[in-house]
Structure 1
Amino acid sequence: MPELPEVETVRRTLTQLVVGKTIEAVQVLLPRIIQRPDDIRRFETELTGHTITEIGRRGKFLRIIMDGVVLVSHLRMEGRYGVYPADEQVEKHTHVIFTFTDGTQLRYKDVRQFGTMHLFAGGEELKEKPLSKLGLEPLDGDFTLEAFSQVISRRTTKIKPALLNQEYIVGLGNIYVDEALFRAKIHPERPASGLTPEELEVLHAAIVSTLEEAVAAGGSSIKSYVNGQGEMGMFQHSLQIYGRKGEECRRCGHPVEKSVVGGRGTHYCPACQTLASLTS
């Protein structure tokens, strides 16, 4: 599933490609993609005539902001957007087509068909699901050490599931949680509430630096992710721990191990990331 860096990269790409364009028509080819409203024809007609003014992001969700309405889109496993000439043949697995007045189309393709779209009146999208209960944005100014510590230190669950919980911190998924915990030398099974203030400070910095570097590299193309121009991300070449089971740890040389933590495959170095705290 695309995580914050991948969705942020798509956001930036779509900003270049579709901001300022006006929707002439919408065609929904797979109705279950549309979660709101439940009337597909209403979805198509309510978007017609609107101009895209901004592409925003909240966690792993895209916010396609128009003059009066906002489309909230989640890519899920393999959803992707692309801009094409309207007369170019529509490829398989294309489920929603937005035709613009300039003769181009924004097409949403999704092989797995897990993506979702919700349409709201402008400003209402942040007050209702799926965005209303999302947590701290790790690349925003509000993601201070104090705010992070307050959220995490109260959790008795293991630190990895705590970081994956989108109601606490948004945008983090399996790849970047493993990478941040490795940078911070924190075992993924440590209780979140048991982290010392020093460890929380190191982890906070590791989350920010990992995400910033991933965004700068265009995200990670582990499976099928590409941005809105069909380009792969490059951060997978910088991954220190994720996907390296059995290989030597790049910090200490110990073999990288993989286990299941909170139902997710988890990579870590048992020598660098011990179950004891840094101060024990």
Structure 2
Amino acid sequence: MPELPEVETARRILEPQLKGKTIETVEVRNTQIIAHPQVEQFTAMLQGQTVTKISRRGKFLTIHFKSHDRLCLHLRMTGRLLVIPEEEPVQRHTHLIASLSDGNQIRYLDTRRFGRFWFLRSAEEDTYTGQSKLGMEPTDAALSADYLKSKLAHRKAAIKTMLLDQSVVAGIGNLYSDEILFDAGIHPRAQCDTLMAADWEQLARSIAKIIRWGIDADDITPQEYLQGEGREYRNAAHLRVYGRAGQPCVSCKTAIERVLIGGRNSCFCPRCQRKI
């Protein structure tokens, strides 16, 4: 599932390709992906729009138009947004095609069809996407130990579960939560109300550090992004715990363990990440 660094990579790749381009025609091949408004209205309003920029909030992308209307998108588990020459064959699981003024097409591919689009008019309040409920960005300078404590210190839930709560910190998923907790030396099952002041300080540092690392590690060229169909990133070889169950810890050589927390697999080092 794309997390904040992967969505930010997509934004950085797509914005130069789309800025200044006009959407001439729109074909929705699967109406399931259109959350707001109705498909006919969605298609009619999207046609003729000229892109000015793309922004990101948490795991959401927003394409902004010259009209001040905007198109919001959440990739969910398997969504991919690509800019492809129109003469290229249409791949399987392509659910939306928008033809551009430069001869390219925006194509949305999604194997599991969980991704969603919302089209919002310039003066329309966003009561649809859920972005208004998102917590602080993980790289925001205001994300501090005090902020995390104010949100979580009274909770008895596992810290791993709370890192996935988008209303606390936006954009963190299963992969980066494992990497953040390893960097902070905190066991994923540690209850929030047992963490000490030093733990919150370290956690705040690790959140910003690991997300920034993820963004830098995912840096690829537009050609590489297209060749990998929006699925290929460079962080996999550098992950320290996620997906490494049974392999030696990069720090102490103890075998990485995997447990189920809140329905999610969590990988950690039992020696480097202390139980509280």
Normalised by the size of structure 2, how large is the TM-score? 0.92
Give the 5 Å matches for 1:1-280.
Answer: 1-37=1-37, 39-67=38-66, 68-122=68-122, 124=124, 126-218=126-218, 227=225, 230=228, 232-276=232-276
Deviation at 1:227, TM superposition (A): 3.9
Sort the Cα spacing of 1:97 and 1:234 in 2 relative to 1 into closer, same or farther, 3 A.
Answer: same
| Distance in 1 of aligned mates of 2:241 and 2:55 | 30
**Contact 1:55/1:64 (8 A) holds in 2:** yes
Deviation at 1:43, TM superposition (A): 0.5
Sort the Cα spacing of 1:246 and 1:111 in 2 relative to 1 into closer, same or farther, 3 A.
Answer: same
Q: Which residue in the other structure is 1:223 paired with?
A: none
| Distance in 1 of aligned mates of 2:267 and 2:144 | 27
Unaligned runs of 5+ in 1: 221-225
- Identity score, percent: 40
| Distance in 2 of aligned mates of 1:228 and 1:133 | 32
SS at match of 1:247: coil
SS at match of 1:57: strand
| Distance in 2 of aligned mates of 1:42 and 1:207 | 40
Give the ranges of 4+ consecutive aligned residues of structure 1 lying more than 6 Å apart after TM superposition.
none
| Distance in 1 of aligned mates of 2:80 and 2:122 | 24
The number of residue pairs the alignment matches comes to: 270
Deviation at 1:18, TM superposition (A): 0.7
Sort the Cα spacing of 1:269 and 1:255 in 2 relative to 1 into closer, same or farther, 3 A.
Answer: same
| Distance in 1 of aligned mates of 2:126 and 2:29 | 27
The superposition leaves residues 206-246 of structure 1 with CA deviations (integer Å, 9 ceiling, x where unpaired) of 111111111001179xxxxx845636211111111111111
**Contact 1:2/1:75 (8 A) holds in 2:** yes
Unaligned runs of 5+ in 2: none
**Contact 1:5/1:219 (8 A) holds in 2:** no
SS at match of 2:132: coil
The superposition leaves residues 39-90 of structure 1 with CA deviations (integer Å, 9 ceiling, x where unpaired) of 2111001011111111111111111111221111111111111112223322
Deviates more, 1:117-126 or 1:42-51: 117-126
Deviates more, 1:229-238 or 1:3-12: 229-238
Deviation at 1:155, TM superposition (A): 2.4
Deviation at 1:123, TM superposition (A): 6.1
Deviation at 1:149, TM superposition (A): 2.9
Deviation at 1:147, TM superposition (A): 2.1
**Contact 2:144/2:201 (8 A) holds in 1:** no
Sort the Cα spacing of 1:61 and 1:152 in 2 relative to 1 into closer, same or farther, 3 A.
Answer: same
Sort the Cα spacing of 1:20 and 1:142 in 2 relative to 1 into closer, same or farther, 3 A.
Answer: farther
Give the letter for the 2:154 counterpart: R
Give the letter for the 1:56 counterpart: S
| Distance in 1 of aligned mates of 2:147 and 2:17 | 35
| Distance in 1 of aligned mates of 2:171 and 2:14 | 18
**Contact 1:257/1:267 (8 A) holds in 2:** yes
| Distance in 1 of aligned mates of 2:10 and 2:84 | 16
| Distance in 2 of aligned mates of 1:151 and 1:228 | 39
